[in-house]
Amino acid sequence: MKLVALTSLKPPLELSIMDVLDIIGSILEEDYVSGCLEVDSEFNIVEGLELYWALEKLGVKYAPIGSGKCRVSLEDLGFYDNIVGPQHRVYYSPLELAVRGLPTPMVMLRSFSTESLRVWAKLEWFNPFSLSIKDRPAVHIVSSIAGKVNVEGKILADASSANFGIALAAVAPRYGAKARIYLPRRAGEHGRLVIELMEAETVRTEAELTVELLSRIYEDVRREGLIHVNQFMNDLNFEAHLKTTAKEIDYQARAVGLKLVGAAGSIGTSGHMSAINFYFRKRFKGSFKTITAQPAPGEHIPGTRRSETGMIWLAMIAEDFKIVDVTLGEALEAVGKVAREDGLLIGPSGGAALVALSKSLDLIGESGDVVVIVPDTGFKYLDLMKKWVEKKSA
């Protein structure tokens, strides 16, 4: 057996992440790869196509080549290499920063930690384009599309309330493409402003939810020949977070000896929380707890929506997770608490995740380490916070 760079191998056809999800789960659970790939003299894959694609979706650097039985650890395959950037933190382009400027930081929040249960915020506003977690799927989806078809001069389209639209508007021109963002009625003003500042096309609508715009986009794709990125149903969204977000948490926890017992977050497309849930339930063999926040009935929390509005990965992949209703007021109270006690201004969706965690301590337990995903910064929502502060002072 020998190890060769995964990128040097030539698969005869492409498989999706759903085609190899069971193999991915087994690899994560066992922490090693059992079996080898067989290749010819030109590195065409002869045997082991499913294993190859499982390794590619996991983002390993090397693949085991040989015949017969193989057993090699994920560590030896360079499992974490794609999420550990250069120490000097010097990059030749913003796109390289988005891909190699990982992992995003984790910081302990004293405001929500106890002596025995430590709460760690994963600060996703360190992603460079949208200052949010949405950079991850935008970069991964667009780079994957550009690797298959010529996107030069083409229009990449999708619906977004703010963050994904900004990320798409930033990433598309890096590949010579243009972006068109369909905005619902409640789209954040900062989102509209930044997208238009980037000279991407915006389509303002009266739709309440982004998912309500999909039928309109489908029609425009058919009529105008657009390329629909489709963050809501494109499995590359889930894959991006399996390959980076979840793996980063694992790497960071191992690096400093954390005892992970669970994670909390909020749901929009459900890509990142479904990936985290899948990854760690396999890694920890079911002992890991996942808490997800959704807006309470009649409430609107930017960047989140209710599970019944349609989230394919929650339905297809995620299992044994808890969904907690959170009001906007509760989310903003948590934002204020973190600001006062930790000096960080997190966004409302991050506040919602902390509330959901606080309501689920009976499930999490009283000791260990919990990671809370903070999708973006609160500086984007100052108008909303101003209204909340004024309402409290009245």
pLDDT value at 69 more than 90: no
pLDDT in tens, 186-244: 998 899 999 999 999 999 999 999 999 999 999 999 999 999 999 999 999 999 999 99
pLDDT value of position 386? 94
pLDDT in tens, 39-57: 999 999 999 999 999 999 9
pLDDT value of position 135? 98
pLDDT value of position 315? 85
In this predicted model, which residue has the larger pLDDT, 318 or 152? 152
pLDDT in tens, 331-354: 999 999 999 999 999 999 999 999
- Peptide bond preceding 103: is omega within 30 degrees of 0, i.e. cis? yes
Per the CB < 8 A criterion, the answer to whether 181 and 165 are in contact is yes
- What percent of the chain is predicted at pLDDT more than 90? 94
pLDDT in tens, 140-168: 999 999 999 999 999 999 999 999 999 99
pLDDT in tens, 119-131: 999 999 999 999 9
pLDDT band at 394; cut points 50, 70, 90: confident
Per the CB < 8 A criterion, the answer to whether 165 and 183 are in contact is yes
pLDDT value at 323 more than 90: yes
Q: Which residues pair with 260 in a beta bridge?
A: 369
pLDDT value at 285 more than 90: no
pLDDT value of position 392? 86
pLDDT in tens, 252-261: 999 999 999 9
Mean pLDDT of the 14-38 span: 96
- What percent of the chain is predicted at pLDDT more than 70? 100
Residue 194 corresponds to which tokens in the numbers above?
């930044």
pLDDT band at 99; cut points 50, 70, 90: very high
Which pTM does this prediction carry?
Answer: 0.97
pLDDT band at 70; cut points 50, 70, 90: confident
Longest dimension (CA), the chain: 76
pLDDT value at 393 more than 90: no
pLDDT value of position 68? 75
What mean pLDDT is reported for the chain? Answer: 96
pLDDT value of position 189? 87
pLDDT band at 85; cut points 50, 70, 90: very high
pLDDT band at 366; cut points 50, 70, 90: confident
Q: d(Cα 373, Cα 93) in Å, to the nearest integer?
A: 26
* Domains, the chain: 2-73 (3.90.1530.10), 100-127+241-393 (3.40.50.1100), 135-230 (3.40.50.1100)
- DSSP class per residue in 176-238: T-EEEEEE-TT--HHHHHHHHHTT-EEEE---SSGGGGHHHHHHHHHHH--EE--TTT-HHHH
Sign of CA dihedral 210, 212, 214, 216: negative
